[in-house]
Amino acid sequence: MSSRLDERNRKKRYKRKRRFAIITSLSFLLLIGFLAYGKIGYETARKHSLQTLEETSTIDPKIENEPIIFQAEQQKKNEPIHILLIGVDKPVGDRSRTDTIMIAQYHPNNGTVKIASIMRDSYVKIPEYQDNKINASFFLGGPELLRRTIKENFDIDLHYYAMVNFEGFERVVDTIAPQGVEINVENRMVKSSMKMDFQPGTHTVHGKDVLKYVRFRDDSENDFGRVRRQQEVLSLLKDEISTIRGVTKIPQLFGSVEPYIDTNLNTRKMLSLSKDFFLNPVGDIETLTIPVENSFNDKRYSHAGLVLELDIEKNKEALHDFFDFNHDE
């Protein structure tokens, strides 16, 4: 009797192992197929965007930009990734200026994204220069000096950067959301220099108008409203990727927008991130604005103009709490 029972148990164990082996093999094949499909989709979309960029860009393709230095910190295994997001206004032949400075944290293991925006008029210490607005560090030394400035003031290590100019931003929006994104205008937004007149209500807008929406600051909210709208649009674009395009389209999206973005993220890393996104889709994006409430004063300096003078320690603590840093390190 016991021998028959042992035999049945052995058969059950064998079937379970066989079933597990089949499922594991199929999952592995699906993953390999996804990566191969993603690689092909990425390269095809990138080639098409490069052709479009050459045909339509207002920037002379013969002008060669100097390589960007970015002394990125080494990302630790199983630790979240920190990416410096920069929006720039860069006329041909001029130095870059930025009105968008964000730190994005992505945790591939659990699919969480957090974005902290730093107001461009935040008065900070700039390594090797006089204290000034944080966007002055980018003007003086590009992404690398901005990285060092953030490290100096807030003790945050950045692994990558992604920088897009106005033209690139429009194309990124239209690539991710070809049908447009829906915004809700609470109060009339008028600015003649941008040919902008948004009436209150819900609007479906495309790249050019989305850019106007996130740049506008001629209301009672000033730069705080602009930062809020920037965070809002990023969340809307994330929703487009997650629900309309679908995660299987992410590699093509990366390929489509990559020619319009300056970044130190290589193709392999971007495809790896798309795989992580596929396995752990991103939910809601948590946001924070620096300076936080009751942590700054309006002040004027002869060399910097009107600034937001920060309580650095209070804002540093807010950032570390937001990103769940270990204060015991």
Q: Residue 221's pLDDT is what?
A: 86
- Which residues span the domain enclosing 281? 2-59+70-163+247-322
Instruction: Please indicate, yes or no, if residue 14 is contained in any of the structural domains.
Output: yes
Instruction: Please indicate, yes or no, if residue 290 is contained in any of the structural domains.
Output: yes
Whether pLDDT at 20 is above 90: no
CA distance 232 to 246: 20
Whether pLDDT at 146 is above 50: yes
Instruction: Please indicate, yes or no, if residue 215 is contained in any of the structural domains.
Output: no
How does pLDDT run across 268-324, given as a tens digit for each residue?
777 677 666 666 666 778 999 999 999 999 999 999 999 999 999 999 999 999 999
CA distance 246 to 35: 15
What rounded mean pLDDT belongs to the chain? 80
CATH assignment at residue 309: 3.30.420.590
Instruction: Please indicate, yes or no, if residue 34 is contained in any of the structural domains.
Output: yes
Work out the pLDDT band at 4, boundaries 50, 70, 90.
Answer: low
Its pTM stands at 0.78
Query: pLDDT over 90 for what percent of the chain?
Result: 42
> What DSSP string describes 140-191?
HHHHHHHHHHHHHHH-----EEEEEEHHHHHHHHHHH-TT-EEEEESS-EEE
Count structural domains, the chain.
1
Q: How many CA atoms lie within 13 A of 27 on its CB side?
A: 7
Which whole number is the average pLDDT over 7-32? 53
Poorest-pLDDT segment among 138-142, 146-150, 297-301: 138-142
Residues, the chain: 329
Instruction: Please indicate, yes or no, if residue 76 is contained in any of the structural domains.
Output: yes
How does pLDDT run across 187-224, given as a tens digit for each residue?
999 999 899 999 999 999 999 999 999 999 888 888 88
Whether pLDDT at 29 is above 60: no
Instruction: Please indicate, yes or no, if residue 238 is contained in any of the structural domains.
Output: no
Instruction: Please indicate, yes or no, if residue 159 is contained in any of the structural domains.
Output: yes
| Stronger pLDDT, 31 or 169, i.e. the higher one | 169
Q: Residue 40's pLDDT is what?
A: 56
